[in-house]
Structure 1
Amino acid sequence: MEYDASFVAGHPPERHTVAIDGAPLSYLQWGHAGVPLVLLHGITSDARVWWRVAPAFAAQGFVVRAFDLPGHGLSAAVDVHRIDRLAMLLDRAIADIEPGAIDLIGHSWGGAISLALAALVRPQRVRRAALLDPAVRMDPAHGASVIDRYALGIGDTIATNQARLRADHPLWHDADVYWKALALAHCRRSAVEGLFTGSGQWDLVPWFAQLAVPTLLLLAEADHTVVPADALAQIHVAAATHPIRIRTAAGATHQMQRVAFDAVMAELEPWQLAAAPDLP
């Protein structure tokens, strides 16, 4: 079964492109007026992973823009892999589209980039951020050992990926299966290798202590989160003196917007709609 990007009736997105140093970055946009909200996906996905989240917020008065990150979807691959440098590239793209302050939601790799944007790159132009089970550390030696697992399906046919994904993820909606299969067909392996072995060894946990904007850290359940326990302990220390709320999405795996959509939205909606979120 195939799905159009306008799967949610009444809220079809528009496809746009912004060029940074000649490299096209593609994004989907829902809505035309309201608070700007930028969504950043995880590795080997693309903008359409937000097919339920984006229209839900567009219906509540947000202008939602979900990017295909470099080397994914319809966006060009780039020779930039460090998280802070990717954030700088995204900052330029966002500023070309929306010069004012934005809200941010990022998942996994996109959560790491969102953290960099909120803490380092554009703190004066982020109104609030939500980090969905973000990647916070990378060791290239470990990265090399998992590349093939994460890259599984890249370049395969959509039908082949659909069959595998449906078997591996029986709880996913058919639309999530299709969009992920399509994302894998478009994903460039160079982008995956860039994250896991080409971005150096990094630990983003100290960046939480630099946050000055309200930030929601939304975790998967303890046996599924990619945030290590010792890193989470350090983030709790930062949260005592910085505007950070730490929550767990009930029943969520790392792929939380796919398997626990209602629980994720139960956390995101009050966070996004509050004039000034209560913390923690």
Structure 2
Amino acid sequence: MSEPDAPASDTIASDARAALHRGPRGLSWRVLAFDSTGHGKDAVVVLLHGWPLNRSIWSRVAPRIAAAGLRVLTPDLPGFGGSPPIDFGRATVEAYAEEVAKFIEPFNARRVAVGGHSFAGYVALALAERRPDAVAGLGLIASRAAADSETARRGRHDTIEKVRVAGTKALLPGLPEKLVGARAAIEWRPQASLMIERARPDGVMAGLAAMAARPDRTAVFNSFGGPRLVIHGTEDGLIPVSEAAQIGPSPPDVRVILDGTGHMPMWEAPEATADAVTSWANSLRR
């Protein structure tokens, strides 16, 4: 595995092992599988995938962002893709956020913009609240700052039990149809189904538990002092566009609502998504 601060020319993939990695200056952290695309340390973009997906969802947007002179890091969150899981008993968005903070630190970036998709938006919010030194830009992509309703919490716990019994196939059919809007259904719903089926049940259950327990962080987003990003689709079948965070249109904040797009803007509208992320992250370089 390459050292985390090794330069990236195009895309470098790093697979993870279930162990702590010790790097320069004695820093230790849980190893997360990740891809690194592009160059630069002045402003690094960290894009976090949603539940129950993995880092490959960013493959269509990372090169376009990197072409603007930014380095893009796309890790697998613990328990997803190639990253070792968090214990179910300590599965909170705060625990995921701490793992992301440990992942970011060894890259020695001057300024880091963290964008989270769906579930990972909750992780990014927790990271901004608990480790403000680690987050210069905060982005929510098909996500929201509010907590779950009681009905939603019960639904997540019910799903945990279904996955415990039947594995991730318990999420099929149903979830892929909610993830991908109708316009992109033929191209991307089969990909979503395959990704869900291959997900680790322990990671899926831990993510559900973390989402159910998270607090409202609307105030965290509203008071964040750096550039903020909101990307949301009008046809999102999991988080209605009406629940997208509200920010003004003035730079350096960026808010993009994508017509006809569902819960996966990085698949369904990759160019518009990449351009919005680039505009947001570039403000950290000025």
Indicate the TM-score class for this superposition, using the shorter chain for normalisation: 0.7 to 0.9
Task: Give the one of 196, 201, 220 matched to 2:208.
Answer: 196
1:44 and 2:56 matched = no
Q: CA deviation at 1:224?
A: 3.7
Q: Is the deviation greater in 80-89 or in 184-193?
A: 184-193
CA distance in 2, matches of 1:127, 1:255: 24
Q: CA deviation at 1:30?
A: 1.3
1:55 and 2:63 matched = yes
Give the equivalent residue in structure 2 for 1:134.
143
The residue type paired with residue 101 of structure 1 is R
Which consecutive residues of structure 2, in runs of 5 or more, have no partner in the other structure? 1-8, 22-27
Q: Which secondary structure does the structure 1 equivalent of 2:94 belong to?
A: helix
CA distance in 1, matches of 2:274, 2:163: 26
The residue type paired with residue 70 of structure 2 is F
Task: Give the one of 69, 75, 83 matched to 2:93.
Answer: 83
1:262 and 2:271 matched = yes
Task: Work out the number of aligned pairs and report it.
Answer: 256
CA distance in 1, matches of 2:45, 2:143: 18
Which consecutive residues of structure 1, in runs of 5 or more, have no partner in the other structure? 1-9
Give the equivalent residue in structure 1 for 2:4.
none
Give the equivalent residue in structure 2 for 1:66.
74
- Percent identity over the alignment is 21
Q: Which secondary structure does the structure 1 equivalent of 2:52 belong to?
A: coil
1:251 and 2:260 matched = yes
- The alpha-carbon distance between structure 1 residues 272 and 173, as it changes in their structure 2 partners (threshold 3 A), is farther
CA distance in 2, matches of 1:228, 1:109: 15
TM-score by length of 2: 0.72
Q: CA deviation at 1:28?
A: 1.0
Task: Give the one of 199, 221, 230 matched to 1:217.
Answer: 230
Listed as ranges, the matches of 1:86-235 within 5 Å are: 86-98=96-108, 100-118=110-128, 120-136=129-145, 137-138=147-148, 139=150, 140-147=153-160, 171=184, 177-178=190-191, 180=192, 183-198=195-210, 199-200=212-213, 202-221=215-234, 224=237, 226=239, 229=242, 235=245
Q: CA deviation at 1:225?
A: 5.9
Root-mean-square deviation over aligned CA pairs:
3.9
TM-score by length of 1: 0.73
Encode CA deviations 1:82-106: one digit per residue, 9 max, x unaligned. Answer: 1122112210121123353212222
